[in-house]
């Protein structure tokens, strides 16, 4: 009995002991809750402080980055306005590649200036300004295209300057107006025309007082659409001029009609000069249509050749890259473009002292295009 009791007690002790132990453990856990809560609060506070510190550091970095970006933009803006770059173009003879004249574009943040000169002491350099501030976007009319540079040199030749003196002319598709302004340096009057509003805005900016003071001509501007123009107020002109205007094939017919409207309206003989790239099929199309006649889709008839004389003269335009100095331009040649000048006179060879015909620019070095040239020159549209 006693043994049994002991055993029972032992058994009971043995069986109770785990409960006491477990209770003891749970009691310790319960007693540690305040410490755990305090530790958790401390951890949260520490985490919040670290988070706030990180946010503050991020904000500071963002502010510094914004300051850096603003400074860089301001620096680039200032440097772009103060930095000048140049591009030089030389007009060369077709065969011997003799340099006939030069044209240098100078660009800075305010606009552009163009200087045209020949290697001759008989003629002063012509410098024209082309402001750009506040002008419409970068459209076709905002650019000085290569053929306008070639035209500026061709029209500074002594042959053209002598002939145009005291005469009146109209320019078709004037764009920035470089070609027309160079011709206006010695002419009596100049009418510069283009079609869309942006082109007229650019053209108006080019006829600024700075340029007007260098011209003998009275320059006027008119909107002119070759496809929808009522020829009821055609001014009297001695020359119809164009640079890079025989560009799209579908505009060749409207262009020809516009040219004829000006030339047929004259009481005295008149001439046509169209400068364009000799590797453009449309330039050759215009030349052949005038020289040989062509089919007119509007009348469904074949037109005869235009009465008078028509020839195409070939030159080359050598262009440099944009460079920090003019001197570097001579060492960094970008490429050479073939240049075509269509010269048409509606009086044939019957010129007189009162109505002389325009001489080919740089006549000694002008190359008259041949059928072989037509075949050999690789052409695009």
> In this structure, are 151 and 216 located in the same domain?
yes
Final residue before a domain boundary, out of 57, 81, 105: 81
What are the phi and psi torsion angles at 229 (to 5°)? -130, 130
Write the secondary structure of 346-373 as one string of H (helix), E (strand) and C (coil): CCCCCCCCCCCCCCCCCHHHCEECCHHH
Answer yes or no: do 135 and 209 share one domain. yes
pTM above 0.85, yes or no: no
pLDDT of residue 70: 58
| Structural domain includes residue 205 | yes
pLDDT at 355: 59
Q: Do 65 and 25 belong to one domain?
A: yes
Which are the contacts of 267, defined by CB distance < 8 A and separation ≥ 6?
Answer: 236
Q: Are residues 232 and 251 in the same domain?
A: yes
Query: Does one domain contain both 93 and 207?
Result: yes
In contact, 130 and 113? CB cutoff 8 Å: yes
Report the C-alpha gap between 94 and 369 in whole angstroms.
10
In terms of average pLDDT, the best of 69-83, 110-124, 204-218, 294-308 is 294-308
Of 34, 50, 81, the last residue of a domain is 81
- Is 146 inside any structural domain? yes
Q: How far from chain centre, in Å, is Cα 180?
A: 18
Q: CA torsion, points 298, 303, 306, 311, in degrees to nearest 10?
A: 100
% pLDDT > 90, the chain:
55
Question: Residue 78 — very low, low, confident or very high, per pLDDT cuts 50/70/90?
Answer: very low
Contacts of 318 (CB under 8 A, 6+ apart): 89, 90, 91, 92, 333, 335, 336
The last residue of a domain, from among 20, 47, 81:
81
pLDDT at residue 265, as a whole number: 77
In this prediction, residue 111 has a pLDDT band, given cuts at 50, 70 and 90, of confident
Domain match, 91 and 41 both:
no
Residue 330 · residue 310 · CB < 8 Å: no
Give the residue carrying structure tokens 């060749």. 252
pLDDT at residue 17 tops 50: no
Domain match, 108 and 53 both:
no
Banded pLDDT at 132 (limits 50, 70, 90): confident
In whole angstroms, give the CA distance from residue 209 to residue 315.
33
Decide if pLDDT at 1 tops 70.
Answer: no
- Judgement on whether residues 75 and 90 belong to the same structural domain of the protein: no
Q: Say what the pLDDT of residue 56 is.
A: 72
Q: 257 lies in which domain range? A: 86-376
In a domain, 75, yes or no: yes
| DSSP type of residue 248 | -
Highest mean pLDDT: which range of 110-114, 213-217, 336-340: 336-340
Task: Please state, in angstroms and as integers, the Cα–Cα distance from residue 15 to each residue in 2, 9, 27, following that order.
Answer: 19, 9, 19
Q: State whether 307 and 187 are in the same domain.
A: yes
Q: What is the DSSP string of 67-115?
A: HHHHHHHHHHHHHHHH--EEEEEEEEETTT--EEEEEEEEEETTEEEEE
Count how many domains the chain has.
2
Residue 381 in domain: no
Residue with the larger pLDDT of the pair 177 and 56: 177
Checking DSSP bridges between strand 126-131 and strand 218-223, what pairing results, if any?
unpaired
- Side-chain-side CA neighbours of 223 within 13 Å: the count stands at 8
Q: What is the CATH number of the domain that holds 161?
A: 3.40.50.150
| Both tokens assigned to 176 | 């920035």
In a domain? residue 179: yes
């Amino acid at each position: 009995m006693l043994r049994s009791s002991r055993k029972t007690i032992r058994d009971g002790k043995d069986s109770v002991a785990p409960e006491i132990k477990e209770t003891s453990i749970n009691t310790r856990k319960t007693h540690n809750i305040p410490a755990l809560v305090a530790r958790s609060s401390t951890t949260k506070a520490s985490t919040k402080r670290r988070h706030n510190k990180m946010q503050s550091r991020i904000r500071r970095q963002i502010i510094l980055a914004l300051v850096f970006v603003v400074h860089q933009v301001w620096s680039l803006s200032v440097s772009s306005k103060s930095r000048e770059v140049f591009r030089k173009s030389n007009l060369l003879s077709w065969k011997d590649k003799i340099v006939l004249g030069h044209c240098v574009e100078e660009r800075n943040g305010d606009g552009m200036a163009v200087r045209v000169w020949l290697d001759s002491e008989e003629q002063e350099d012509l410098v024209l300004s082309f402001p750009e501030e506040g002008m419409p976007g970068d459209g076709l009319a905002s650019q000085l295209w290569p053929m306008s540079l070639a035209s500026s040199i061709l029209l500074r030749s002594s042959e053209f300057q002598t002939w145009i003196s005291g005469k009146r002319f109209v320019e078709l598709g004037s764009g920035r107006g470089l070609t027309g302004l160079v011709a206006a340096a010695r002419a009596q009057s100049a009418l510069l025309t283009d079609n869309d509003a942006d082109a007229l805005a650019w053209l108006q900016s080019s006829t600024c007082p700075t340029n007007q003071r260098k011209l003998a001509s009275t320059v006027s501007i008119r909107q002119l659409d070759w496809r929808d123009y009522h020829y009821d107020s055609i001014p009297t002109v001695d020359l119809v001029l164009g640079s890079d205007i025989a560009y799209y094939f579908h505009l060749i017919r409207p262009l020809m009609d516009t040219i004829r409207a000006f030339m047929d309206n004259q009481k005295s003989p008149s001439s046509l000069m169209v400068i364009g790239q000799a590797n453009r099929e449309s330039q050759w199309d215009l030349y052949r249509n005038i020289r040989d006649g062509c089919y007119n889709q509007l009348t469904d008839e074949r037109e005869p050749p235009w009465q008078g004389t028509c020839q195409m003269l070939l030159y080359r335009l050598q262009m440099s890259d944009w460079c920090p100095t003019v001197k570097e331009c001579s060492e960094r040649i970008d490429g050479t473009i073939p240049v075509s000048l269509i010269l048409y006179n509606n009086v044939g060879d019957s010129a007189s002292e009162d109505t002389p015909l325009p001489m080919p620019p740089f006549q000694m070095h002008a190359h008259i295009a041949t059928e072989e040239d037509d075949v050999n020159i690789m052409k695009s549209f």
